[in-house]
Amino acid sequence: MVPLKQKNIRDFNVENKVKELMAIYFEIGAVLAVVFLLYLFVKFLFNPVHIIGNSILGIVLFFLLNAFFGAGIPITFLSVGVVAIGGIPGAILVFLLHATGLGF
């Protein structure tokens, strides 16, 4: 039979190891996400047709959200700029920020 004091010390060490492993996995995931985003950025950077098309589709989506779905997002230079630079993901970001009340 293991005394209660020794059992708590052993459990504490396991918790620390689990936290360390979680931190390592998080760091690896963050690095992989950044590498993937850099790959996408470079891929779109060297093909301006994708950038222009994505921006136009983003602006169209932004205005459709406002016109037909009544999102009520104010059309300002900042919101249109985010959508123009970000394209479809930018329009989704502006919509989510407006829906949660964090911006726009």
pTM of the model: 0.54
What local confidence, expressed as pLDDT, does residue 73 receive? 86
What local confidence, expressed as pLDDT, does residue 2 receive? 54
- H or E element in which residue 61 lies: helix 48-67
Residue 13 has pLDDT above 80, yes or no: no
Confidence grade of residue 42 (pLDDT, cut at 50, 70, 90): confident
Share of the chain above pLDDT 70, in %: 87
**Residue 86 burial (10 A CB sphere; 0-12, 13-18, 19+):** middle
Q: Are 54 and 87 in contact (CB under 8 A)?
A: yes
Q: What angle do CA 51, 53, 59 make, to 5 degrees?
A: 100
